[in-house]
Amino acid sequence: MNTKNAIDLIPAELRAILNHKECLSLKRGMPISTDEAIEDFVRNYREQWLQEKLHQDIKKQIMEMEKHLWCRSEKAGYDIGKKAAVEEWIHNYAAAWRAAEESLESNGFMTGRFVLKKREEPITPLGPKLGEIARLYDSDIYVHWRGMHSCSFIMNKKKYLDVKSQCFLHHFNADGDAAAEIEIIATGNEAREVIDSISGICFQNLISGLYP
């Protein structure tokens, strides 16, 4: 997908799109790509999904405020009042709650950040290796590197490209192999094996894989 047309996603929306991808593949009787799933989701379901998510987020936050009211009142020995509890929760806990709720890990993803080891001997190009891992494991894999020119989506101001996309090798061979480091998002039954395999090829882990 051209970067100019790439959609900016939050982790919960990427999870919804991957669920949609699975349903759409079953409906069509053939695997579809992440790019196809994104296009169909945005065209037919995104607006409704965003409205429902906003509604659910409000309900969850109200529940958190009510729990805070109960806990603070129990600790104080008297009812501190809903207004005080709400203001206190918003001031002290709302930002952390939203960050946790919208993290990749909370939405079933595993991540890894890797830097290329400096070796004197020739090494196998990384692009084909990533493609091999994508075929080997039951997992969806998305990779980010600095200076990439094409992507499947944008998240947290970073571009990510689906390793299983038809254009992955072309774009990665053009500028990815020269990257100093890459970042990986993986999900699926064997996401942990994906992170471990990439770590074991020709990279050293800067930040351990974050597991939900």
Cα–Cα distance between 71 and 89 in angstroms, integer? 11
pLDDT score at 212: 40
Residue 166 has pLDDT above 90, yes or no: no
For residue range 154-164, list pLDDT tens digits in order: 999 999 999 99
pLDDT at residue 118, as a whole number:
55
Token pair recorded at residue 33: 């790509």
Residue whose entry in the numeric block shows the structure tokens 């471990």? 196
pLDDT tens figures, 179-194: 678 899 999 999 999 9
pTM value is: 0.84
| Each residue's pLDDT tens digit, 118-150 | 555 445 577 888 889 999 999 999 999 888 888
d(CA 6, CA 31): 21
pLDDT digits (tens, 9 = 90+) for 14-30: 999 999 999 999 999 99
pLDDT of 71 over the 60 cut = yes
Residue with tokens 């890894």: 112
Class of the CATH domain delimited by 108-210: alpha beta
HSE-CB of 55 using CA atoms within 13 angstroms: 6
Q: How confident is the model at residue 4 (pLDDT cuts 50, 70, 90)?
A: low
Task: State the Cα–Cα distance between residues 87 and 17, nearest whole angstrom.
Answer: 35
Mean pLDDT for the stretch of residues 48-58? 95
- Which pLDDT score, from 0 to 100, does residue 79 have? 93
pLDDT greater at residue 89 or residue 176: 89
Per-domain residue ranges of the chain: 47-101, 108-210
Integer angstrom CA distances of residue 151 from 104, 127, 178, 199: 18, 15, 17, 22
* Residue 204 pLDDT: 45
Tell me which amino acid residue 192 is: R
- Residue 177's pLDDT is 60
In the chain, the largest separation of any two C-alpha atoms, in whole Å, equals 71
Band of pLDDT at residue 6, cut at 50, 70 and 90? confident
